[in-house]
Amino acid sequence: MLFVTSRYLSPQFKKLLSPSNPLLKFSISTISTTTTNHVGPPPIRVDITESAGRGVFATRRIEAAELIHTAKPVISHPSLSKIDCVCYLCLKKLKFSNDSQTRVDRFCSEECHQEAKAYYELEKKADWSDYHKYCRNLGLKYPLLVKRLACMVIAGAASADCIHILQPAHIIPKIEVEYSMLRSAIEGLNITKENLNFLSEQWYADVLARVRINAFRIEMVAGSYDDLHALAAASVEAEAGVGNAVYILPSFYNHDCDPNVHIIWIDSVHARLKALRDIEEGEELRICYIDASLDHNARQDILQGGFGFKCSCPRCLSSD
Ligand SMILES: [Zn+2]
Ligand SMILES: [Zn+2]
């Protein structure tokens, strides 16, 4: 999500800035411009910032409340408490009815079912009871995203290094136990050895390190709103997290305790990035990684502990 302490340009970062980078193309191609005033590509570019590594910048003036772009996640997974009531893929609330034909298993739609079918079938066959129990007891949510990615890779739906372009957390706690649980759940599936080559303890640690600081907790906005302007202005009433997801482009936004961009989820994991105020051409776009209503000390503690940096945004510098 951020890149604070070093300005070292990794080979991956150079690749990121290359116009031929397929990941960036993928992200951009998922963007839709639905406002009536602006058509064409989203008004942003990813570039190097003065102090925080890469960041996202406006390529033209952006008006308050403008939908800057939307983004689809690379990996998503429901919270364990919501696993039976939201879509396996897009985390949309499932509608239950007496007519079981209206619901395609754990999916909200045939579209989601088709998109995730290959790894869903695989994931469904394995026994995750130990792994889930372990996560539930320790309150861990990120291993679920690693599990999902492992299944996607085995099913050929993602590459093993698809999120390696994102920055990793510096410290990763011990993972031996969860890794061996994941490994034995997957080994019960009769996958060829060749297809499991990627699944080393090092791969697990690398993915978890990136998931830890890049995953977004998905909180849907209650109800549905047509007027996005009103939505951004309102203090948003959010349902407790329905799941977690990792995105590429939204992860390049740096943090600010008084952000100019807001990331919201209306009814599914598809994110919308909206301007909170007028933004000038060339200005950096920033989102708030945490609850912006917290006081100065609480924000600093969470940002340091969870993301590994000391925030020096204008609001923090003024001790607000
Ligand atoms: Zn869905
Ligand atoms: Zn700050």
Dump pLDDT digits (tens) for 178-224.
999 999 999 999 899 999 999 999 999 999 999 999 999 999 885 54
Q: Which residue has the higher pLDDT, 261 or 49?
A: 261
Percent of the chain with pLDDT strictly greater than 90: 70
Q: Which range in 30-34, 99-103, 159-163 is most confidently predicted, on average pLDDT?
A: 159-163
Q: Which residue has the higher pLDDT, 188 or 237?
A: 188
Domain boundaries, the chain: 11-72+217-317, 75-214
Q: What is the mean pLDDT of the segment spanning 119-125?
A: 96
Is the alpha carbon torsion for 285, 287, 292, 297 positive or negative? negative
253 closest CA partner among 44, 66, 50, 76: 44
Long-range CB pairs of 30-38, under 8 A, 24+ apart, other chains included: 30/70, 30/71, 30/72, 31/69, 31/70, 31/71, 32/69, 32/70, 33/67, 33/69, 34/67, 35/66, 35/67, 37/63, 37/66, 38/66
Q: What is the mean pLDDT of the segment spanning 299-306?
A: 92
pLDDT at 226: 47
Spatial separation of the C-alpha atoms in residues 298 and 303, rounded to whole Å: 9
Centroid of ligand 2 to alpha carbon of 214 (angstroms) = 18
Terminal Cα-to-Cα distance of the chain (whole angstroms): 24
* Model confidence pTM above 0.85: no
Q: Which CATH superfamily is domain 11-72+217-317 in?
A: SET domain (2.170.270.10)
pLDDT at 98: 58
pLDDT at 283 over 80: yes
Q: Which residues pair with 262 in a beta bridge?
A: 274
The CA R_g of the chain, rounded to the nearest whole Å, is: 20
pLDDT at 105 over 90: no
Nearby residues for ligand 1 (ion, Cβ within 5 Å): 87, 89-90, 92, 108, 112
pLDDT at 86 over 80: yes
Q: What is the mean pLDDT of the segment spanning 146-175?
A: 94
Q: Which residue has the higher pLDDT, 230 or 70?
A: 70
Centroid of ligand 2 to alpha carbon of 255 (angstroms) = 8
Residues 8-30: pLDDT tens digits? 333 444 444 444 444 443 344 33
Q: What is the mean pLDDT of the segment spanning 112-133?
A: 96
Number of helices followed by number of strands (H, E) in the chain: 10, 10
Average pLDDT, the chain: 84
pLDDT-derived band at 312 (thresholds 50, 70, 90) equals very high
- Sequence length of the chain is 320
Centroid of ligand 2 to alpha carbon of 150 (angstroms) = 35
Centroid of ligand 2 to alpha carbon of 32 (angstroms) = 30
Q: Are strands 261-264 and 271-275 parallel, antiparallel or unpaired?
A: antiparallel
Q: Which residues of 241-262 are buried (b: 16+ CB within 10 A; e: fewer)?
A: bbbbbbbbbbbbbbbbbebbbb
Centroid of ligand 1 to alpha carbon of 117 (angstroms) = 12
Q: What is the mean pLDDT of the segment spanning 148-153?
A: 98
Centroid of ligand 1 to alpha carbon of 271 (angstroms) = 14
Centroid of ligand 1 to alpha carbon of 108 (angstroms) = 4
Centroid of ligand 2 to alpha carbon of 257 (angstroms) = 4
pLDDT at 31: 42
pLDDT at 175 over 80: yes
Secondary structure element (H or E) that encloses residue 129, with its range: helix 129-138
Spatial separation of the C-alpha atoms in residues 265 and 269, rounded to whole Å: 6
Ligand with an atom nearest the CA of residue 299? 2
